Chains A and B, each alone.
Chain A
Amino acid sequence: MIRLSDIRDSFEGVIPSVIATTSADGVPNISYLSHVHYIDERHVALSNQFFSKTAANVRHRGVATVMVVDGRTGQQHILDLHFLRSVGEGELFERVASHLAVMSVSQGMGDVMKLRSLDIYEVEDCRPVVPVASLAEPEETEPPRDRLYAAGQLCAAIAQQGDAEAMFDCALEGLQTRFGFANAVVLVPDEEGKKLSTIASRGYPAFGFGSEATVGVGTIGTAAAMRRPLRISDMRRGQRYASAVRAEVMRHGPDHIPLPSLAQPRSQLAVPMLSRGRLLGVLFVESEKSFAFSHRDEEALSLVASQLATSLLLAERDRSEAGTPPPATHQPSPAQAAPRIRVRYFPLDGSVFVDDEYIIRGLPGQLLHHFLSVFSKTGRTDFSNREIRRERSLRLPDFKDNLETRLILLRRRLEERGGPLLLSKPERGQIRLECDGLPEIEIATG
């Protein structure tokens, strides 16, 4: 019997599986079914959605035969199944239900694929379907990488990093060098958990720092909302969905920074970064090739995302303990002739526009406004994390846990924009505002 773990990519795939059963009066029945779910080496689960005839046959005969297909290679395997039980709740049911919901959203099918019950089967045999004559030679493929080794190495490298920013860069560099994933993005959630902002990216013409994905929309947003990895192997099969994603990417507006994105992605994989039950971000990779990411890649990236989340959480905690108040450094007051920097701040959502260009919103926007206000009033340019944390005017909930990422986001966004405002990090736990002009702050009420 073929080991089910050796044909892992044939489960929950894009090519429909086939199921055959026999009725009480001995007549065979054959139909497609959306997914066969891998449970372990001896068990699979079938999502019971539409095929009532099949369900009735299984209840009567207790057996079913299933064929699963590897979407990348087309290889087929036959599984002889013996029905064990049907479940309508529990951990496994919830896991499959959320996977189906993710897949149905990703295929633009709404809640058509809502799970009613889950049938658990023992696998009595698994054998390959051997073609008698091949139509074409298999494509040359790279030898498979040892993903567990690569993930282990990358996790160790991330754990070596002293601060959050270095962790992000280390993770993205490792994804390229150790996994060959050239296009990757890390996004972090905002305070309300409604948007995710790009904090690190690699492999795109622009970094797109501060660009946003909406939670619940697109591959990234859906993975965040469901807190489950979402892997799309062939985006041509979900065109409506792909169109929706594109619409999100291409949405124009005054407060829009384009998300780093391939023009024609075929494969995408988004993995939530979870630690202690909290969503700290999403790790996202994409490719112009179909079937670029396998189940093994998904598992490996889940390890990397967990390491990143935990290291990030520890770095935040570490930072909240550190950072002495800085000496009161002042920038010489800009001469009256210095160029004016027009700053508009919207307290409603914390968004900041500089010289009519959208910069950032939310907590990073509030922080930028705070720095600029203090600088305008006192000329002070240096701030400590500890001091910011105690600043009551910011009125920030759960502040100590996400200050570091907000500051990185803000600093990178300003740096990518290239002035006249910049943030630097003179010492651990300290921030310096570099202001090439005289800010004129307008509080907007709209």
Chain B
Amino acid sequence: MIGADVAAFLESPVMILVSTRNSGHRAFIARGSGARFDRRHGHIDVLLCRGQWPDVAGNAAKGAPIAVTVVRPSDYRAFQVKGVIEEVASISQEEQQRATAYVTRMLEIMAELGVTKVQLSHTLTDKDLVRISFLPTDLFAQTPGPDAGQRLEQAAQR
């Protein structure tokens, strides 16, 4: 489902968007603070700030659907992964360190693109994080253009 290239891409310095939805089918928006592909279990772990994104965090529960879009800021190359949430948990010390490293690296990359720390103050944070682990079921190309939304992979069980 998630090949080595996509796994490497989502663990590289990419901007991360996360969406869950409520029972009324309204989808919510959050920005992620780092993502990782758990190669052993086939899960994707995405970290996000509970306090800043209460709607997404509040609707993230085991069995609920989730969508995550990752985009490389330099060329807007992007993928969207959809899946089913397996676990919502507090983060470990290692995950905290990974989130801090992610924020530091993104600040460097965005600074090279002319985006300041002040502008990113509303976007990037490594505080008050929660980990959402989900099993990916669909992969889509999401790079802006006529091919955005094209399905690349679909899990066999669906």
Contacts and interface: CB of A to CB of B under 8 A. Distances in A.
Interface of A: 18, 20-22, 26-32, 34, 50-53, 61, 63-67, 69, 71-76, 78, 80, 112, 129-139, 234, 236-237, 290
Nearest to A75: B122
Contacts of A236: 113-114
B125 A29 contact: no
Q: Among B20, B26, B114, which residue has the most Cβ atoms of chain A within 10 A?
A: B26
B20 A135 contact: no
Interface of B: 17-21, 25-29, 49, 51-53, 55, 65-69, 71, 76, 78, 80, 82, 103, 107, 113-114, 116-125, 127-128, 140, 142, 144-146, 148-149
A136 B128 contact: no
B69 A132 contact: no
B119 A20 contact: no
Contact of B148 (A50, A64, A76): A50
A65 B29 contact: yes
Q: Among A22, A51, A290, which residue has the most Cβ atoms of chain B within 10 A?
A: A22
A29 B138 CA distance: 11
A263 to B, nearest CB: 17
B9 to A, nearest CB: 16
Given A29-B67, A30-B27, A131 B52 contact: yes
B149 A50 contact: yes
Ranked nearest first, the 9 interchain pairs of A and B with the lowest CB-CB distance are A74-B119, A20-B27, A30-B19, A28-B19, A136-B117, A28-B27, A20-B19, A132-B51, A22-B25
Contacts, number: 136
5 contacts: A20-B67, A27-B67, A132-B51, A132-B52, A135-B117
A132 B127 contact: yes
Given A20-B19, A26-B25, A136-B117, A31 B122 contact: no
Nearest to A72: B119
B121 A65 contact: no
A51 B65 contact: no
Q: Among B52, B107, B145, which residue has the most Cβ atoms of chain A within 10 A?
A: B52
Given A18-B29, A22-B26, A31-B148, A74 B51 contact: no
A132 B103 CA distance: 14
A18 B123 CA distance: 13
Nearest to B82: A27
Contacts of A21: 27
B125 A132 contact: yes
Contacts of B53: 129
A51 B148 CA distance: 7
Q: Among A26, A51, A74, A138, which residue has the most Cβ atoms of chain B within 10 A?
A: A74
Contacts of B144: 32, 34, 50
Contacts of B17: 18, 30-32
Q: Among A20, A80, A133, A137, which residue has the most Cβ atoms of chain B within 10 A?
A: A20
Contacts of A135: 103, 107, 117-118, 120-121, 124-125
B123 A76 contact: yes
Nearest to B145: A50
A237 B26 contact: no
A130 B52 contact: yes
A113 to B, nearest CB: 10
B21 A129 contact: no
A132 B114 contact: no
A172 to B, nearest CB: 29
Contact of B119 (A30, A31, A50, A71): A71
A58 to B, nearest CB: 11
Contacts of B149: 31, 50-53
Nearest to A57: B27
Contacts of B19: 20, 28-30
Nearest to A60: B25
Contact of A112 (B18, B124, B145): B145
A31 B80 contact: yes
A95 B19 CA distance: 32
Nearest to B84: A27
Contacts of B142: 31
Contacts of B67: 20, 27-30
Contacts of A137: 118
Contacts of B125: 131-133, 135
Given A31-B69, A71-B119, A136-B121, A22 B27 contact: yes
Nearest to A137: B118
A30 B145 contact: no
A229 B112 CA distance: 30
A39 B20 CA distance: 28
A61 B23 CA distance: 12
Nearest to B124: A135
A237 B110 CA distance: 12
A26 B124 contact: no
A139 to B, nearest CB: 6
Nearest to A64: B27
